[in-house]
Amino acid sequence: MWRWLNGFFIGPSESDLPERLREAIRNQQDRSERITGWIQLTVVLLWAFLWAISPRMASGMESLPVPIALLIYFVLTVVRIVWSYRARLPDWSLAISVVCDMALLMTVIWSFHLTYNQPPSFFLKAPTLLYVFIFIALRSLRFDSRFVLLSGGMAALGWAVMVAYVVILEAGTMPVTRDYVVYMTSNSLLFGAEFDKIITIIIFTLVLAAALARAKALLLRSVSEEQKARALSRFFDQGVAERIKSAESDFRSGQGELRDATILSLDLRGFTPLASSLRPEETVQLLSDYQSLMVPIIRAHGGAVDKFLGDGILASFGVVEERENYAADAMTALQAVMAAAAAWEEERSRNGMVAPRVNAALTSGRVLFAVIGENERLEYTVIGEAVNLAAKVEKFNKTLKTRALADARTCALAERQGYVAPAAWAKTWRALPNTSLPEVGERLDLVVLTE
């Protein structure tokens, strides 16, 4: 039963979240406590103003409880606000604050019979009791049901004590009635009315605590899912991650869609023998620098990184998101990639570091964008002749001692889609018609884009 109540009213634990997210939640709670403090200060100042301008029949010692209570509460509230700006308020201080809220409210209500020279039952009709709901609701700003329950519990207990005080103090002399009109027009006591007040406070507290706990559970679940989605985006292309997150049904191996696309294949020439001569950390840093440079350029031009193959990068245009100008986008991306690669190689050489050349290839065709693998380990990938051909054309750079190649079909397609090569870039283009590639059963018309 306790576990059920704890889960229903207090909500799930934050322990499953990463520490930085838990700290973010705590920081938000700290801000909420500052807001609560300022609202409390506003309330006490409002009460002080109303007390100052209200007519009073009593004087002397009988009028002192309210200003003393307000002064104490004012001092405690100021201390609490200053403390909240200087450090994180511990739970015990928040519990004390809840007790002070209700103690102040009950003291103010209790003083009514002294202020107006009436029997104690007089204060039971004070509308000031409605402030109970403000103090309870204030605790919901923290998104912690414990303090809502504590506040409501103290309010219900406080009012029960107030009723008991009246019953004990006026035993034998206080008129008890069951007539609501008599109750409202005299200082008589109607137990049903006081019972209704206590029950209303309890039900309001339980409903608010339950709603708060469920809202917090949803918040934590949302934060957790967002954290997982953010982590997912680091292992998948952003477009693929969005597709996975927004899918209306579970993915299964074998699902796929046909797309007209352009494939970009990048590779570091001579990386394998180079890696054997470098320290492991130098190899990793080289790959990291290279990938950190290339990937943003690809994404900026509408490409999606399908996978990293050691020092290779396989990207697609028009696959994850259908695009009318996919070949033109790919050609623009390749142009930017080669310019950035040249600058990167020059910078590394200038700093005395190894500077492998970046090779590239573009091919186009009909591909299958599919989910493959086993249901416990799935992968979204691009399958098709254009993908295989891009890898083979890229390797052919080594034979030709060129930097970037494309098949003539892709160049023509890019131009039809609106791509216009800059003059300096177009000067480097060289046609290689009817070229035989290793491992390719037919001859191809190729274009050297960069020597």
- CA–CA gap between residue 381 and residue 368 (Å, rounded): 8
What mean pLDDT value characterizes the chain?
81
Distances in Å between the Cα of 127 and the Cα atoms of 54, 65, 197 are 15, 19, 11
- Residue indicated by tokens 């606000």: 81
pLDDT at 156: 93
> What is the SS3 assignment for the chain?
CHHHHHHHHHCCCCCCCCHHHHHHHHHHHHHHHHHHHHHHHHHHHHHHHHHHHCCCCCCHHHHCHHHHHHHHHHHHHHHHHHHHHHCCCCHHHHHHHHHHHHHHHHHHHHCHHHHCCCCHHHHHHCHHHHHHHHHHHHHHHHCCHHHHHHHHHHHHHHHHHHHHHHHHHCCCCCCECCCHHHHHHCCCECHHHHHHHHHHHHHHHHHHHHHHHHHHHHHHHHHHHHHHHHHHHHHCCHHHHHHHHHCCCCCCCCCEEEEEEEEEEEEECCHHHHHHHCCHHHHHHHHHHHHHHHHHHHHHCCEEEEEEECCEEEEEECCCCCCCCHHHHHHHHHHHHHHHHHHHHHHHHHCCCCCCCEEEEEEEEEEEEEEEEECCEEEEEEECHHHHHHHHHHHHHHHHCCCEEEEHHHHHHHHHCCCCCCHHHHCCCEEEEEECCCCCCCCEEEEEEEC
Q: Which residues contact 270 (CB under 8 A, 6 or more apart)?
A: 356, 357
Ranges of the chain whose pLDDT falls below 70: 1-18, 20-21, 55-64, 171-172, 174, 223-256, 371-380
- What confidence score (pLDDT) does residue 280 get? 86
**Predicted local distance difference test score (pLDDT) of residue 339:** 92
pLDDT at 407: 93
pLDDT of residue 122: 84
H/E run at residue 76? helix 65-86
- Residue 424's pLDDT is 82
Looking at residue 340, what is its pLDDT?
Answer: 93
Q: What is the pTM of this model?
A: 0.56
Q: What's residue 2's pLDDT?
A: 43
